[in-house]
Structure 1
């Protein structure tokens, strides 16, 4: 870890773990990056790129290109390989571009990674998703909604599209709770009402609605979903409810798979926003700090990079 990272008099009022470097000199950093690339010194690449925040990394990319007439990303791709290459390239993406990339990756190849789609769509706000859709169109020359429809089907497709287009509208807690309770008590559970309500109310309102539904039904919603739904729709509703009730815990469980690239992608996605909160949920859930858990599952420069993103022991 760069020792100068902590030598800062700035306000640290953030739940992110990666923050602006207080003694940032892009010209000097680029000189060090060039030398590291020439010598294949991956440790220096990791030290610099994981100890600068995304805005600073974008400045480094611009400075690198101005100096060399080459893209920093292309140079990293040429000089590195494997998981470390992917991690550093992903760190170089602007945040919402990275989310668009993650959505495309979840749909690429044979089979769709439904839970990664759900993770992003459930944890991002409506305005953020509108920006991500626009960025996706620019990056891939395709409409994100159309791509999501082609990769999903049935009520699950309706849920996915509704999440992409979610917005906050006024609602009454008691009325919404009664509507959902009636679907659980009927012979056939109307998925459409769940989709409509859970994708068109603000999170605070929905948490109250879900608490009321669980209290009145005497069931945890995951139990109710197991009884009334199946397949991808059941998974989708479970993930959505988990993200509404305790998003930090849900993301901590995702990280706890300790699978590359899942663990690193959640960490990169949240390192400048709320990884401190996710770390707290992780240690509460597992009894082990994220910093220690990473050391038990990864090694080498990839481990150093992930530890720098995690930042410290709890």
Structure 2
């Protein structure tokens, strides 16, 4: 039985050699639409299995072949689909911290919304690849203040990966957050906001936020909006929103990527690709409730060509 939570599933009857041949034939004929459809027709694990028979049979790397034939946003999307989820997160983090300037929004989305297990894998692989500049050191060098402390805590494994909750602890922590105000109190481990949001599992955080609302008469998001600013506010809000309702969080991310003049294509690609085998169908439901029309309608209005068609094919699914 397949899950209805996400649109891209393992393809029954898949044969890696056959897909390698189909993709090469379409590439030689310049049929970009066909290539894109073939890639979306199988899930990520199966895409990884196509790479080796393709290399053996045609003497070249599949990613390089795709890179030569596609360009622009369609190329970015196709290459994202061909990476494993871990490889894609790593690539996004590397790009966000490369050269002058840092794309804090990308750091926040990945570091503050991924699970503890995902962050552990990201850090391990990043550190292996960049031995002289591990992830925690690189993040610390590109950020500052409590924002830096929060991101470093998360990438070094501070967050509880369990599901256990404690009502008394939730009440006590809500009192601390309420009394802490702007989080200016600095103990040995930093502010209460930093300590609680960077360490506790999402089930416990939900209890803390519910207790906070009882005590203060406002929800935790409103409190953070009032008391913090800039990247730190965005990071705390991401942790809260991803803990309370991750599908709603990503629906908002998708809407923001297409809001106003211009489209932030990389943000759109990252959200669609990252959630295509996790919960994209649920995100689409949240999106329609929040914004009054289907995600696909906004994609049609903001994108074009192979890029648009491939995004729509992902949303439609492969079964």
Q: TM-score when scaled to structure 1? A: 0.90
Q: What secondary structure sits across from 1:91 in the alignment?
A: helix
Q: What corresponds to 1:239 in structure 2?
A: 238
Computed over aligned residues only, the root mean square deviation of the Cα atoms, in angstroms, reads 1.9
Q: What corresponds to 2:222 in structure 1?
A: 223
Q: What corresponds to 2:144 in structure 1?
A: 153
Q: What corresponds to 2:108 in structure 1?
A: 118
Give the Cα separation in 2 of the matches to 1:121 and 1:26: 33
Give the Cα separation in 1 of the matches to 2:270 and 2:53: 26
1:260 aligned to which of 248, 257, 265: 265
Q: Is this contact kept in 2: 1:184–1:228, CA < 8 A?
A: yes
Q: Is this contact kept in 2: 1:189–1:228, CA < 8 A?
A: no
Per-residue deviation, 1:110: 3.3
Per-residue deviation, 1:244: 1.6
Give the Cα separation in 2 of the matches to 1:14 and 1:138: 36
Q: In the alignment, does 2:180 pair up with 1:183?
A: yes
Q: What corresponds to 2:261 in structure 1?
A: none
Per-residue deviation, 1:185: 8.5
Q: What corresponds to 1:8 in structure 2?
A: none
Give the Cα separation in 1 of the matches to 2:182 and 2:9: 49
Deviations 1:14-33 (A, max 9, x none): 52211111231222221121
Q: In the alignment, does 2:154 pair up with 1:163?
A: yes
Give the Cα separation in 1 of the matches to 2:244 and 2:36: 35
Q: In the alignment, does 2:27 pair up with 1:37?
A: yes
Per-residue deviation, 1:166: 2.7
Q: Bigger CA drift: 45-54 or 32-41?
A: 32-41
Q: Give the 4+ runs in structure 1 shifted more than 6 A.
A: none
Give the Cα separation in 2 of the matches to 1:71 and 1:281: 39
Per-residue deviation, 1:189: 5.3
1:134 aligned to which of 124, 135, 150: 124
Q: In the alignment, does 2:187 pair up with 1:173?
A: no
Q: What secondary structure sits across from 1:261 in the alignment?
A: helix
Q: What corresponds to 1:291 in structure 2?
A: 296
Q: What corresponds to 2:203 in structure 1?
A: 204
Per-residue deviation, 1:47: 0.8
Deviations 1:94-147 (A, max 9, x none): 111111111112222432222221111122111221111122234445411111
Q: TM-score when scaled to structure 2? A: 0.89
Q: In the alignment, does 2:88 pair up with 1:98?
A: yes
Deviations 1:150-199 (A, max 9, x none): 1100111001112222331875211111221211289x455621111112
Report 1 or 2 for greater relative contact order, CA contacts < 8 Å, sequence distance ≥ 6: 2
Q: What corresponds to 1:271 in structure 2?
A: 276
Deviations 1:21-70 (A, max 9, x none): 12312222211211111122101111100111011101111110121221
Q: Is this contact kept in 2: 1:61–1:72, CA < 8 A?
A: yes
* Total equivalences in the alignment: 301
Which 5+ residue runs of structure 2 have no aligned equivalent? 259-263
Q: In the alignment, does 2:33 pair up with 1:28?
A: no
